[in-house]
């Protein structure tokens, strides 16, 4: 397939995703595996806490993906979900990550996913 054909195909997939609420195809993507979650349990303190990482204050200076006047509002009057088709099926969040992450980076992502999942489930009970 030519470069133009591939680009057109991807544009069509994104449009279908936008208008139907279905997930678009993400080329060269993957999900975390059980091995990633096992490796997350083996992470050392040095691997978890990078002394060269940006301080939280610096990270917070970067704007989120929400732009425009709504981004400056402190309070919203409606839910973030405006179409039921956009809800996650069965309460499970579909995701994909780049296959270019190292094993260490995949383990760090798995640890973060596990912590968020644990925190969310502990809110219920």
Query: What would the pLDDT profile of 21-67 be if each residue is shown by its tens digit?
Result: 555 555 566 889 999 999 999 999 988 888 887 776 776 666 555 55
Measured in residues, the chain has a length of 125
pLDDT of residue 88: 74
What is the C-alpha end-to-end distance of the chain, expressed in Å? 52
Same domain, residue pair 91 and 118: yes
Domain containing 119 equals 31-124
Rounded Cα distance between 46 and 108, Å, is 12
The tokens describing 103, both together, are: 């094993």
Query: Average pLDDT for residues 98-122, to the nearest whole number?
Result: 88
Residues 45 and 95 reside in one and the same domain: yes
Same structural domain, 24 and 36: no
Same domain, 58 and 76: yes
* 18 and 37, same domain (yes or no): no
For residues 111 and 43, is the Cβ–Cβ distance under 8 A? Answer: yes
3-state secondary structure of 64: coil
Report pLDDT for 117: 84
Q: Are residues 40 and 80 both part of a single domain?
A: yes
Q: What is the arithmetic mean of pLDDT over 74-82?
A: 57
CB 114 within 8 A of CB 43: no
Are 24 and 37 found together in one domain? Answer: no
Domain count within the chain:
2
Average pLDDT, the chain: 73
């Amino acid at each position: 397939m030519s470069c133009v054909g591939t680009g057109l195909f991807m544009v069509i997939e994104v449009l279908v995703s936008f208008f139907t609420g279905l997930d678009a195809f993400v080329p060269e993507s993957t999900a975390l595996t059980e091995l990633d979650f096992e490796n997350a349990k083996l992470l050392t303190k040095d691997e978890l806490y990078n002394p060269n990482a940006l301080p939280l204050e610096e990270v917070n200076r970067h704007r989120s993906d929400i732009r425009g006047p709504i981004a400056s509002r402190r309070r919203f009057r409606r839910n973030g979900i405006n179409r039921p088709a956009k809800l996650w099926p069965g309460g499970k969040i579909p995701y994909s990550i780049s296959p270019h992450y190292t094993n260490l980076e995949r383990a760090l992502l798995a640890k973060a996913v596990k912590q968020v999942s644990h925190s969310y489930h502990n809110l219920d009970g």
